[in-house]
Structure 1
Amino acid sequence: MIDMFPLEASVGQLLFLGVFTFLLGIFAGMVGVALGAVRLPIMLALGFNPVIAAGTNLGVTILGGSAAALPHWRDGRVVGRVVVVIGVPAVVGALLGGLFADDVKAWVLLALIAGLTIVSSAISFWQWWREVRTAEKTQAAEPSRTPSNVDSKKGVRL
């Protein structure tokens, strides 16, 4: 049997994780993501075994994601056929990944986690940068709507 707390997680560490994931859960419910990519590195930084951290993170994702999905479902913001088309392959892939998790060395899991975090961060940054550039171009193309007594560098002239 796998020891659930291989590094003797302290009460303080568990309380920190509880408060952190509560706050993360509020944000996750608003934006529609489980945020396991944020939770997992915190668990690893606290010294959890990577396989235990990954499995525990998935369990938390199931609970938090299910709770967050309910109001979205109730308000008609979930497309069932898309859930099935994406969900079935995800379930099969996750099942296979879980079955083979013990066969992969911890350093390989850590490298995969780091690589996926870097790629995810780069994609998020690129999307943000593209939106900023589009907004700047749109703003530059529009005629100024500033009153004639306002100087952009010096402020309001009286």
Structure 2
Amino acid sequence: MKSFQHIKGFILIFILSSICTLAHAQVTYNITQEDALKVMLAAKEKAEKDNVLVNIAVVDAGANLKAFLRMDESYLGSIDVAVKKAKTARYFNIATGDLGKLTQPGGIIYNIEVSNDGLISFPGGVPIKNDDGEIIGAIGVSGGTIEQDHEIATTGALAAIE
């Protein structure tokens, strides 16, 4: 009888510790290496089709660089811009062009681009979502016009759910 109570106690402790562990577990949705490459290559293919030389940066859910491509002869200055566009899109879970509308003089977040070691508030950064609509990262593209950058980034981002 005493050993049965010990077993019951052990099972109860095991169940409670499992529940506590599950309650404190952090659920993250993060882009995989394979999807980051898929996104980057889809963007590259779109840039090549449009005859635009760009830099392409993909960041994970934590805004850490996951994949990067500098097309031959693309602007050196666009490297940093592509990375910052991707980070900005992830920091605020919004396309950088849409963020830019809010950062204009008189806008509700005017001057926010000076925060976080510099943000980019013009088009070319797009959040990446999974099939369930959860943000798993972001892509930033720089080197073309802002319209081209946005279109290329959007093409890349959509590749994650194809």
* Shared fold per TM-score greater than 0.5: no
Higher normalized helix content (fraction of residues): 1
Relative to its length, the structure with more strand (as a share) is 2
Query: When the two structures are superposed, what TM-score results if normalisation uses the length of structure 2?
Result: 0.29
